[in-house]
Structure 1
Amino acid sequence: MAAEKSGVDNVANFYEGLGQVLNIAWGENLHYGYWEDDADDSTVGTATARLTDLLIDLLRPASGDTVLDIGCGVGKPALQLVAARRTRVTGITISDVEVARAAENAAAAGHRDLATFRNADVTDLPFEDDAFDAAWAVESLLHVPDRGRALAETARVLRPGGRLVIADTVQRPPLDAGSRAVLDAFRAAYHVSPYATADEYRDLLAANGFTGIDVRDISDKVVRTGRVMADAVAARRDELARIEGPEPVDQYIDLMRRAAASPGIGYLVIAATLGPASGA
């Protein structure tokens, strides 16, 4: 248990340190952006909101549904979901700093009654069985060492027929030496667990009672994120280095540029339903 707690603390420290710096450079929608093609000149704000909209469409929540946001960050995707579908969202994160900032963002958006946030670990959820109509995990499961346990807990708190949507970076085997080096560097620097593959996610979801598993590789739509994010951080490098120090900022710029050029790093969005397949 001590090792697990240490890992949780390391991830929290990352999001309370460099993660907060990245919120300044990238914006508080701290996930990948979605660009239609090379001619798409959308801003980061538009591209990240577009990815959130894709996830909302896959989640298909009805007005009033209860949704668990696993790894909610400072609450921007949750608040976009609330505004679009009038759902009731409970966001969890292992960072008290993010909990406080997410609550501030909900209040500023006028959604404090529909979006609440708390410190909780997805591998030991503090909720009753069948508590939620739907759940999503936006670029959060990559930090979880035991994804099977996380998905088992998610299944426990979802009602039968509940939807789960996952967005995550993954490895796309076979990996060349350059891709392996980038993945290893990300794992060491940002407390990432071994990267999953598409097949591993399919197997884990099926093993925990999910059916109708829809796995979409949208790597070509989000690959620009690495380069654009590196450029955004580089443009404010001196300012950000005064906050976090030059070494982590420079390392982040380098890794994001290398990731953008790596064919072994992919991006999936996955949707699944808890319980028997339709018509079964």
Structure 2
Amino acid sequence: MTDDPTDAPTAPDHEASTRHYYDTGDVDAFYDAVWGGEDIHIGVYAHPEEAIADASRRTVQHAADGIADLLGPDATVLDLGSGYGGSSRALAERFGCRVVALDLSEEHNRRHRAANAKCGLERSIEVEAGSVSHLPYESGRFDAVWSLEVLCHVPDRPDALREAARVLKPGGALVFSDIMAAETTPPQALRPALSRLAVETLATPSFYLEHLSRLGLKAEFEDGTEHLVTHYARLDHEVRHRTGELRRVISAAYLDELLDNLPLWVDISRRGMLRWGLFHARRPVV
């Protein structure tokens, strides 16, 4: 499945919509209360009732294991769509590496910087505002490029992948996860669920593998779709069982939207219409 330029918004419009969505107080309150306010992505679950925040942190740990050979005090990682900075801090703490964190949302970046300062990591992590499709960095700068569930928000995913590959050093690694459509899922079947995120279409695993290969990267896909099913079931459960509590911190309109929208995600994930997992790609040394 590829993006359809006839019905997708232009990049500036799409980025403005994404920035507006993530800069709202309701979204921050939801991620704080339900997701833990640190890592905003699909979790790797040890069991179906595990806390969302714990599973989400395990995703970071597992993804980092795949690039551990590249990281250390002399390495620099680019965290694309860094959110509240959970990944950036985990990488800096574990490996002592330097992290450049890029995100569209100024509210995310403000909170990210404040959390870094509280942890004493403000000198290890450079937080910048910007677009993943137009990276303001020289070619071959980074030992690794990292991104968790960001490309599903990007209208021109091939451009974003080209930019990520461009800034990698020879031998460097691109590791990312994304929420995707199953190969045979028709785009229209997903649109009711996608509407809340202002997303028109999702990519597929084969789409990413094909484009990574075109860029000269050796790539593998680690399918973790079973965790996606668990994750949306956990989100739906948490929101429904904590509705009274959430109404004190989230507007009624946004909470009602979640109550309507999350069951759609549970349904399409259980019906096998979605895919999720980690891509591990390396730029050849030559």
Q: Secondary structure at the match of 2:235?
A: helix
Among 32, 45, 50, which residue is 1:42 paired with? 50
Identity across the alignment (%): 26
Among 156, 168, 176, which residue is 1:166 paired with? 176
Partners of 1:171 and 1:3 in 2: how far apart? 21
The answer to whether the 8 A contact 2:104-2:129 is kept is yes
Q: Secondary structure at the match of 2:233?
A: helix
Report deviation, 1:23: 1.7
Extract unaligned runs of 5+ from structure 2: 1-8
Q: Does 1:125 align with 2:135?
A: yes
The answer to whether the 8 A contact 2:109-2:128 is kept is yes
Q: Secondary structure at the match of 2:93?
A: helix
The answer to whether the 8 A contact 1:216-1:268 is kept is yes
Q: Please show how residues 245-264 of structure 1 align to structure 2 within 5 Å.
A: 245-262=251-268, 263-264=272-273
- Tell which deviates more after alignment, 107-116 or 184-193: 184-193
Q: Secondary structure at the match of 2:263?
A: helix
Q: Does 1:85 align with 2:95?
A: yes
Q: Please show how residues 196-215 of structure 1 align to structure 2 within 5 Å.
A: 196-211=203-218, 213-215=219-221
Q: Secondary structure at the match of 1:261?
A: helix
Q: Secondary structure at the match of 1:260?
A: helix
Look up the match of 1:229. Answer: 235
Aligned residues: 270
RMSD, matched Cα: 2.1
Report deviation, 1:173: 3.2
Q: Does 1:23 align with 2:22?
A: no
Report deviation, 1:238: 4.6
Give deviations 1:158-184, integer Å, cap 9, x for gaps: 1111100111111113237xx954x20
Report deviation, 1:245: 2.9
- Per the alignment, do residues 239 and 165 of structure 1 end up closer, same or farther by CA in structure 2, a change over 3 Å counting? same
Partners of 2:259 and 2:63 in 1: how far apart? 27
After TM superposition, the runs of 4+ consecutive aligned structure 1 residues lying more than 6 A away are none
The answer to whether the 8 A contact 1:230-1:254 is kept is no
Report deviation, 1:113: 1.2
Partners of 2:23 and 2:197 in 1: how far apart? 12
Report deviation, 1:71: 0.4
- Per the alignment, do residues 21 and 217 of structure 1 end up closer, same or farther by CA in structure 2, a change over 3 Å counting? same
- Per the alignment, do residues 227 and 203 of structure 1 end up closer, same or farther by CA in structure 2, a change over 3 Å counting? same
Report deviation, 1:117: 0.9
The answer to whether the 8 A contact 1:129-1:158 is kept is yes
Look up the match of 1:189. Answer: 196
What TM-score results when the alignment is normalised by the length of structure 1? Answer: 0.89
Give deviations 1:215-257, integer Å, cap 9, x for gaps: 0111113421112112223344355446553233222233223
Partners of 1:68 and 1:191 in 2: how far apart? 25
- Tell which deviates more after alignment, 213-222 or 245-254: 245-254
